[in-house]
């Protein structure tokens, strides 16, 4: 059933993918997948990332799946070819493409869409010299480009795309550049197995990096890659929750991503990798999978699911009992505590954000205390899961974390801001896109400012239950307009975050009445037994 589930989930996205594409051969944007650009006309440039959608289309067209009406359809092949050609036609002269603003030259969008176009080119059996020249130009740009921020998944995608293209064209032109990037990527891998994503560890993006490296190892086997993959698989195995869900707000980028194809590719020589997929697929079958049907991200998982179907390993290991005890990942600052019939996943590096399971079911999901603080006519949001300088203490039956709250990033686009961004993109950004990208990353993702509140959170094991104590202090509660604890708050902009996942049905806990009773110098104290 698991294999069929992968096919069903992926094929369910194909009609939407086709809706996003301009399929009119007489249209000047024939093949474009950015519906906001070609149809709604609310954008003034097409996103290069959108052309990644050719890959799930090509996989659906070339794979004989149960109930697959797209397999071998001549019209679908035409649309795939149109998508690859539009990627080339909409690219800059140097082969790069944009994603969020004109002249951005986004490495992630370029790598994702190059790999997708390469794979689609081969799947449908194209032989097109202009397209090969486009692939080479984009590969040259990716090989030379250094993006801001440590994004391991972008590096892995780039290395795999360069290797794939080298094989397609029968050249070692990008071998040295790929080797340098691979060496840097492996240096970014923690001894705990995970790969760096901006400021830390994100289990979701980790599975994408792992998937690309598994494909690279399949293409060019090496002992170094195999060792890195073994560690990566071991980390991912710890991150599968007992109900089959995966990742979430305990990661640095708050994603519920799960790319299964790498575990199947590696599973041919590392059977324990298959158990990671089986755990996730059990949750998917039970309706616990996340929704990635957003126009900008639905393609990522669709192609990974179809690749996992194609690489499926029939002989699966028997389910192993979940091990008990404590796992402390000191570099990721993630604690996993399994006692009796409970499993606690706590991101101590994010102020004690946690998920708690009992008997294999989610019973608590908590992204820490949140305050809505008045600031003149506006209100700002202070959260306990944003900062880095936390003080962590671990004892046998008690875990504590304390630190400062930080101001959440809630900037929205306005007409003046949009105009300013366009002016910057069309002037400074045209010649220094990485400078503008670094500014936006700091504004939306990496820059952090301390709020005038402190917190302490303690997990205490007592009589077979977890007792959670929270204390929040500040100079005054006068300007605090609201307080609460939610199960899925995030405070930085990440494209793949803030998707729906069934565990988010945990209700918001409103603490505003308790705050309203506090006087100057008093602390907000909450105690719960879970």
Partnered with residue 240 across adjacent β-strands are 246
Could you say which architecture CATH assigns to the domain 2-310?
Alpha/alpha barrel (1.50)
CA atoms within 13 A on the CB side of 264: 21
Enter the tokens of residue 483: 């307080």
Instruction: Write down the pLDDT at residue 1.
Output: 59
pLDDT per position as a tens digit, 346-368: 999 999 999 999 999 999 999 99
Instruction: Write down the pLDDT at residue 444.
Output: 67
DSSP string, 434-491: HHHHHHHHIIIII---EEEEEEEEEEEEETTEEEEEEEEE-S-STTEEEEEE-SS---
Checking if the pLDDT of 445 tops 70, the result is: no
Domain boundaries defined on the chain: 2-310, 333-409+449-529, 418-446
If you average pLDDT over every residue of the chain, what do you get? 94
- As a whole-number percent, the residues of the chain with pLDDT over 70 amount to 98
| Residue 96 pLDDT grade (very low, low, confident, very high; cuts 50, 70, 90) | very high
Q: Which range has the worst mean pLDDT, 225-229, 264-268, 446-450, 524-528?
A: 446-450
| Residue 438 pLDDT grade (very low, low, confident, very high; cuts 50, 70, 90) | confident
| Residue 493 pLDDT grade (very low, low, confident, very high; cuts 50, 70, 90) | confident
| Residue 387 pLDDT grade (very low, low, confident, very high; cuts 50, 70, 90) | confident
User: Which class for 228: exposed (0-12), middle (13-18), buried (19 or more C-beta within 10 A)?
Assistant: buried
Enter the tokens of residue 126: 């194209």
Checking if the pLDDT of 339 tops 80, the result is: yes
- As a whole-number percent, the residues of the chain with pLDDT over 90 amount to 82
Distance between CA atoms of residues 141 and 152, nearest Å:
18
pLDDT per position as a tens digit, 388-431: 889 999 999 999 999 999 999 877 778 887 787 788 777 877 77
| Residue 371 pLDDT grade (very low, low, confident, very high; cuts 50, 70, 90) | very high
Segment 369-391 shows an average pLDDT of 90
Of 442, 437, 493, which is closest to residue 146 (Cα–Cα)?
437
Distance between CA atoms of residues 114 and 403, nearest Å:
43
Instruction: Write down the pLDDT at residue 428.
Output: 76
Query: Does the reported pTM lie above 0.85?
Result: yes
Give strand ranges (E) for 300-414: 325-329, 334-339, 342-347, 353-358, 361-366, 369-375, 378-383, 391-394, 398-407
Instruction: Write down the pLDDT at residue 223.
Output: 97
| Residue 378 pLDDT grade (very low, low, confident, very high; cuts 50, 70, 90) | confident
Enter the tokens of residue 440: 């936006």
Instruction: Write down the pLDDT at residue 422.
Output: 81
pLDDT per position as a tens digit, 237-263: 999 999 999 999 999 989 999 999 999
Instruction: Write down the pLDDT at residue 530.
Output: 83
């Amino acid at each position: 059933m698991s294999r069929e589930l992968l096919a069903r989930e992926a094929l369910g996205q194909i009609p939407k993918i086709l809706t996003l594409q301009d399929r009119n051969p007489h249209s000047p944007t024939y093949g474009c997948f950015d519906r906001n650009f070609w149809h709604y006309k609310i954008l003034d440039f097409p996103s290069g990332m959108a052309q990644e959608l050719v890959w799930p289309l090509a996989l659906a067209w070339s794979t004989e799946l149960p109930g697959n009406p797209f397999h071998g359809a001549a019209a679908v092949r035409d649309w795939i070819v149109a998508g690859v050609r539009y990627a080339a036609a909409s690219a800059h002269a140097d082969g790069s493409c944009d994603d969020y603003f004109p002249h951005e030259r986004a490495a992630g969008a370029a790598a994702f869409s190059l790999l997708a176009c390469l794979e689609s080119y081969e799947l449908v059996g194209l032989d097109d010299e202009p397209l090969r020249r486009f692939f080479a130009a984009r590969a040259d740009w990716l090989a030379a480009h250094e993006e801001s921020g440590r994004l391991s998944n972008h590096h892995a995608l780039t290395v795999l795309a360069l290797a794939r293209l080298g094989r397609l064209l029968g050249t070692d032109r990008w071998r040295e550049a790929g080797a340098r990037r691979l060496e840097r990527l492996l240096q970014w891998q923690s001894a705990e197995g995970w790969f760096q994503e901006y400021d830390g560890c994100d289990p979701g993006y980790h599975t994408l990096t792992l998937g690309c490296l598994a494909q690279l190892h399949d293409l060019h086997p090496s002992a170094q890659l195999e060792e890195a993959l073994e560690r990566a698989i071991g980390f991912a195995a710890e991150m599968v929750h007992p109900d089959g869900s995966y990742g979430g707000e305990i990661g640095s980028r708050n994603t519920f991503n799960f790319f299964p194809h790498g575990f199947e590719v590696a599973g041919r020589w590392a059977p324990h990798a298959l158990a990671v997929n089986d755990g996730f697929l059990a949750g998917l079958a039970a309706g616990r999978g996340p929704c990635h049907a957003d126009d900008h991200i639905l393609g990522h998982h669709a192609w990974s699911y179809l690749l996992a179907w194609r690489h499926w390993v029939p002989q699966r290991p028997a389910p192993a009992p979940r091990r008990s005890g404590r796992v402390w990942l000191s570099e990721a600052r993630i604690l996993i505590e399994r006692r009796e019939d409970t499993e606690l996943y706590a991101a101590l590096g994010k102020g004690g954000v946690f998920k708690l399971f009992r008997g294999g079911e989610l019973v608590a999901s908590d992204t820490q205390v949140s305050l809505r603080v008045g600031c003149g006519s506006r209100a700002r949001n202070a959260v306990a899961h944003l900062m880095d300088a936390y003080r962590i203490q671990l004892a046998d039956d008690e875990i504590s974390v304390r630190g400062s709250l930080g101001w959440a990033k809630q900037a929205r686009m306005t007409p003046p801001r949009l105009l300013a961004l366009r002016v910057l993109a069309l002037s400074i950004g045209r010649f220094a896109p990485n400078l503008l990208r670094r500014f936006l990353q700091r504004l939306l993702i990496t820059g952090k400012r301390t709020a005038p509140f402190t917190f302490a959170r303690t997990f205490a094991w007592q009589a077979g239950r977890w007792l959670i104590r929270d204390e929040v202090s500040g100079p005054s509660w006068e300007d605090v307009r609201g307080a609460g604890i939610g199960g899925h708050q995030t405070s930085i902009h990440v494209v793949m975050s803030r998707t729906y996942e069934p565990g988010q049905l945990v209700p918001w806990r409103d603490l505003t009445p308790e705050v309203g009773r506090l006087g100057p110098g008093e602390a907000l104290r909450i105690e719960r037994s879970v």
